[in-house]
Structure 1
Amino acid sequence: MTPASQTDGSPAPPQPPSLVSRCPGCGAVLAAVPGLEARHPGASPACTRLFDVTVRGLRDEAPSDLRAANLVELAGTAYDAQHTPDAAALHRLRDALGEGARRPVRSSRPELWRTTIADVAADLDVVDLPVLLRSWAQAVSADWAGEAPA
């Protein structure tokens, strides 16, 4: 492959690596982290890393704290429902929220999400993590239902 050329025919200067990446699952725009590998289908490496960092403390508490374990499970299910085309993840999320089959399900993935893990992480300094995770999970379920934001 030859390098791109400028209008005068000289080679174009090399492009710097992108400083940001957009997650293909949730659309969050995050700092690109060279060398990270995607570990979750449908998610960018940076998004998966942000999720891991955001719930790390709860994961550490989960073995001895049932509330923390339930929140980790809810967060993982919300992340799956947002990043995979698997309807089973959405059904698990709705069961975890106590919604069952009450809400409709869109025929295709939402194009825009009202809340992502990036929003959760950004609000950690002003809102309690359990509240943020529950709110995010409810927003993911509502987005799948095609409901307008409140």
Structure 2
Amino acid sequence: MTPDSPAAGSPSLPQAPTVVSRCPGCGAVLAAVPGLEARHEGASPSCTRLFDVTVRGLRDEAPSDLRAAGLVQLATAAYDAQHGGDADTVQRLRTLVGEGARRPLLERPPAQWRTTVADIAADLDVVDLPVLLRSWAQAVSADWAGDTD
């Protein structure tokens, strides 16, 4: 034990509080990471980083795996629709989900999303990523339609 370390059983030193921020696009509340730059219009730097980390494995596989490439497209469309999405972005998502133009489209993004990339990342230890991404994409499409169920 060094002179600076607390004795066994003694209370630990207080830690600095975690600074959090709310993503302006999807509303996810995430730890703010100093030094990250905003790379996606309408998203917080922490949210963009979480998305990148969540789909990294699929992106690595995408050049040689069509299924992984399709999932990356789907995830990107869902993310884009929540972060500054417009009618064209949402239509691209709906095409990938297989819905076409069957649902109405709100004039502006919904005030609250039922699922965000933070939910996907939190559930990765219990549900397969492809299942989570498909569910997320369907929820985003439903949110843009104003579905409340």
TM range (shorter): 0.7 to 0.9
- 1:64-103 deviation per Cα after TM superposition (whole angstroms, max 9, x unaligned): 1000000000000000001014221101000111111001
CA RMSD of aligned residues (A): 1.3
Alignment match, 2:74: 74
Q: How does 1:26-105 map to 2 (within 5 A)?
A: 26-105=26-105
| Amino acid in structure 2 at the alignment position of 1:37 | E
| Amino acid in structure 2 at the alignment position of 1:115 | T
- 1:84-136 deviation per Cα after TM superposition (whole angstroms, max 9, x unaligned): 14221101000111111001111221000000000000000000000000000
Further displaced range: 104-113 or 48-57: 104-113
Q: Gapped runs of 5+ residues in structure 2?
A: 1-15
CA distance in 2, matches of 1:64, 1:31: 34
CA distance in 1, matches of 2:45, 2:78: 17
| Amino acid in structure 1 at the alignment position of 2:46 | A
Q: Gapped runs of 5+ residues in structure 1?
A: 1-15
- 1:11-59 deviation per Cα after TM superposition (whole angstroms, max 9, x unaligned): xxxxx88710100000000000011000000000000000000000000
CA distance in 2, matches of 1:34, 1:17: 14
Moved over 2 A (4+): none
CA distance in 2, matches of 1:18, 1:57: 28
* Structure 2 length-normalised TM: 0.87
Offset of 1:148 from its aligned partner?
1.0
Residue 129 (1) aligns with residue 132 (2): no
| Amino acid in structure 1 at the alignment position of 2:47 | C
**Alpha carbons of structure 1 residues 123 and 18: separation in structure 2 relative to 1, 3 Å:** closer
